[in-house]
Amino acid sequence: MRYNTALTIAGSDPSGGAGLQADLKTFSALGVYGTTVIVAVVDENTAGVYGVHPIPVDFVRGQIHSVLDDIGADAVKIGMLHDSELIRTVLATLNEYPTVTNIVLDPVMVATSGDPLLLPEAVVTLRDELIPRARVITPNLPEASMLLGRTIDHSDQLEDAARELSKLSGSRVSVMLKAGHLSDNRLTDIFYNAETDRSLKLSSPRVDTVNTHGTGCTLSSAIASYLALGADLDTAATKAKDYIASAIAAGAKYDIGHGHGPVHHFWCAWK
């Protein structure tokens, strides 16, 4: 027997709701063996981000080699990469493993608290160099706006924006465009499958809760989990949407921390 495996390349969140901690929880909840490459140690809790301590890029490269040379990965989720040097290091190292194709990139630029997590010059590097290597990207509306250079803030814009994001820098990457920043009563994300040239509208009820810390990390790692388990793109996106919607709804019942609490990653297992 072998595990289905997923690797997260991300920063650490000591409060446990986002970053690689959220990724590992999601992998585990969905039946996938998780491995990690730590790119930064973040001083963070539910109320905000207070500091970022980057890991040297040579050490990041070494971690990727150690995991992929030994265990491998059926899917890779990439989270917060804070500068251009790190982005290029991760890209160059992954390019040494051409069979690793299920790459899900969460283009993390701003924390739930509003704190910036990506240096401005790195946005161009992310857009032009790393996105073309990914199979799926999962931007929210502010991130999509930064990548496209114009404001995306209405539901009528989402499908066209997802298609445009797919074609950035000549790439044909699939896009899960998240609608959480809209004020609609239902959250209708758009998944554009670049491999079939078709879009899905994935809808769930809006939950009145402040417990949204790590929702982006969790959704992207859920997509990676389902890809690691062998699902096709549409199935992975649909199941991941269902998983995060249930995790938000279940997490709304809890009181953790003084800011944006986490979602409930193990809603389907804990009683």
Catalytic residues: 178, 212, 214-217
Contact 213, 261 (CB under 8 A): yes
Strands 48-54 and 33-45, by their bridges, are antiparallel
Helix, strand, or coil (residue 101): coil
> What is the spatial distance between Cα 224 and Cα 23, in angstroms, rounded to a whole number?
10
What residue type is 181 in one-letter code? H
Compute and round to an integer the Cα radius of gyration of the chain.
17
Burial label for 41, CB within 10 Å (0-12, 13-18, 19+), is middle
Nearest CA among 27, 19, 174 for reference residue 82: 19
**What's the rounded Cα separation, in Å, for the pair 25 and 123?**
28
Partners of residue 255 on adjacent β-strands? none
Q: Rounded CA gap, 137 and 212, in Å?
A: 19
User: How many Cβ atoms are within 10 Å of 161's Cβ, its own excluded?
Assistant: 23
